[in-house]
Chains A and B, each alone.
Chain A
Amino acid sequence: MIDVIAQALPLAVVASTPLLLAVEGETVVERSGIINLGIEGMMLTAAMTAVVAAQLTGSAVAGFAGGIAGALCIGALFGLFTIVRRADQIVTGTAVNLLALGLTGFAWRELEQRDLFTRSVPRITFDVIVPAAWIIVPIALAIMLWNTSFGLRLRACGENPEAVRASGSSVDAHRWIALIIESVLAGIGGAYLALALSSGFAENMTAGRGFIALSIVIFGRWKLKGALLGTAVFGATAAIQYALQATSRGVPFHLLLAAPYVVTLLILCGIAGRVRAPESLGK
């Protein structure tokens, strides 16, 4: 059993890479005081635009660019509502998720009927995303958040936006930058999901990863170390799940499918009581 799990671990690291990118992006955006429930829809949109871009150009790199562009569109919409119009963040996030589900479902069916996609989806040949997501991005974001004055101001936007305003900086500008960082990361995550982990787009293919990411941000106490640890814990349980699936020892398949959400729920309950969110989160 142990060796089966050990075999499944590298797979779990790769499979939880889109999740990790989402956790990192959401950590930054929540530090700036925004809770983006729409990250699920952001990744789903990116998955579709990535496949469309990759199909049309035959290039995986263009696919990732397409994914980032799709996520940026969703990010711009979310920012327009929550930063410019000060609409409720939870309501907007929920609407964004429904919008992404409806729009990708509608658009994908239309595209499929038009025989635009004659070639198979290009695969990435050299995977730079996994080491980037697990090593480079967290170090870069941690340095940005805790070792630069920009990062200090960004975190202040999440704790005490009035103080940022009083010091003459724009809260909105910092939140926009945080949202752009999140969109790029979620866009890469969505593209990786569609181009590397699957071979194309499927309706609702993100399957709640965005919500799991939101939970891991809390587990990680809004820190990048915590983001890595939380995703690793989650990935390890995923490895056990794969191993159980492979050996099919007793546990029914459908109950195994529920396991990631049960684990996330338990993680959330185990930790949430003892952490403090950024003071102005969601306000």
Chain B
Amino acid sequence: MKRVVIALAAGAAAIIVVALAGVATGHRDLLLILLRGSLGSQFALEGTLLKAVPLLLTGLSVALAFRAGVWNIGGEGQFIAGALAAFIASPLGVVAALLAAMLAGALWASIASLMRLWRNAPEVLTTILLNFIAIHLLGWCVNGPLQEPSGQYPQSDVAIASLPSLGATELHLGVVLAVLAAIAAWFLLYRTAEGLRLRATGLNPHAARGAGINIRAQIVRAMALSGAMAGLGGGIELLGVTHRLFEGFASGYGYSGIAVALLAGLHPLATIISSTFFGALVTGAGELQRSANISAQVATLGQALVILALALFGRYRAHD
């Protein structure tokens, strides 16, 4: 209960500081535009839910990794790897494309976990470096081998497969898939032996080793699971929303996942709520940029403030 209160307070504090930043710069209506742009109409609400989907999946990715005590800051790179694989596999159908996305995300994350096991390279740095490599790899793809045939724009062709939309809305099946992924992550963590081992590894690696858990193998599996979630996020974003690859495809979803997961206290089901909150913030910030010419980076600012508030009051530790 106390943790729920702290989470709500952190979210509220971030919004208040953002609103104050608006007042200080002469945008008194910042909060109003933020609300209108994220919740004020059916279009805005659909936008919020659409943004919440990639945030939910990168949030789950971070939650799984942090639960195991692994610092996966590489959601951004794994998200891109997933989208690239989904694009390449899309001629085989939407199911194959999503599976390819998960596999690619898992493999990209595994580079970091294997480097940690073999060379003792800290994953907190290798995952970040892999983000930059993925970003430039994507840049090369959409300017080279995967560029649209006309060769005019730095983007790919439209992917062959796509996720079906839900009724007469902008929403797509990925919304359902993301919620199912959250339930699956909850089931894995709290209802399976694998989940118990994963959490034990994060809580106290020494005790876990004493209990007979193979820590090294557990870290590799947790990292692969985490990467698969972020990869799935990239695949769903491609097949449900953008349908094309382009530079700046991930636009910070990977890093935002850290704020999503921490606000949810690393709980998969609470991640559904926190991703909707940040989805609203991102969507509202987009409206701020369009209608009031205020930088959409306000959303990034909000995410940072939430994490800081949690670190200050929640005494956040990696594994709790």
Contact = CB atoms under 8 A, between A and B. Distances in A.
A257 B136 contact: yes
Contact of A96 (B129, B255, B300, B304): B304
B73 A94 contact: yes
B300 A105 contact: yes
A203 B301 CA distance: 14
Contact of B294 (A87, A109, A212): A109
B225 to A, nearest CB: 20
B121 A269 contact: yes
A208 interface: yes
A81 interface: yes
A162 to B, nearest CB: 20
Interface stretch (A49-57, A163-171, A258-266): A258-266
B308 to A, nearest CB: 5
Contacts of B119: 268-270, 272-273
A279 interface: no
Interface in A179-208: 203, 207-208
Interface stretch (B171-179, B181-189, B231-239, B311-319): B311-319
A113 interface: yes
B43 interface: no
B312 A90 contact: no
Interface string B283-320: 00000000001111111111111011001100111100
B218 interface: no
B126 interface: yes
A3 interface: no
Interface string B92-125: 0000000000000000000000010011111011
Contact of A99 (B73, B115, B301, B317): B301
A37 interface: yes
A45 interface: no
A131 interface: no
B308 A99 contact: yes
A87 B311 contact: yes
Contacts, number: 152
A113 B140 CA distance: 34
Contacts of A99: 301, 304-305, 308
A257 to B, nearest CB: 5
Contacts of B144: 252, 254
B130 interface: yes
Interface in A238-274: 252-255, 257-258, 261-262, 264-265, 268-270, 272-273
Contacts of B129: 208, 211-212, 215, 261, 264-265, 268
Contact of A272 (B121, B303, B308, B311): B121
A94 B140 contact: no
Contact of B311 (A88, A208, A261): A88
Given A37-B124, A90-B71, A261 B132 contact: yes
Interface string A89-121: 011101111110111111011100100000000
A94 B258 contact: yes
Given A252-B144, A254-B139, A269-B121, A95 B304 contact: yes
Number of contact residues on B: which range applies?
A: 35 or more
Contacts of A92: 308, 311
B118 A273 contact: yes
A214 B132 contact: no
A145 interface: no
Contact of B136 (A94, A101, A258, A269): A258
Nearest to B138: A254
A268 B73 CA distance: 16
Given A98-B255, A102-B300, A262-B133, A211 B316 contact: no
Contacts of B259: 98
A95 B136 contact: no
Interface of A: 37, 81, 85-88, 90-92, 94-99, 101-106, 108-110, 113, 203, 207-208, 211-212, 214-215, 218, 252-255, 257-258, 261-262, 264-265, 268-270, 272-273
Given A110-B25, A257-B139, A265-B115, 7 more contacts: A91-B316, A97-B255, A99-B308, A101-B297, A254-B137, A254-B140, A272-B120
6 contacts: A98-B303, A106-B21, A106-B294, A208-B128, A211-B132, A218-B125
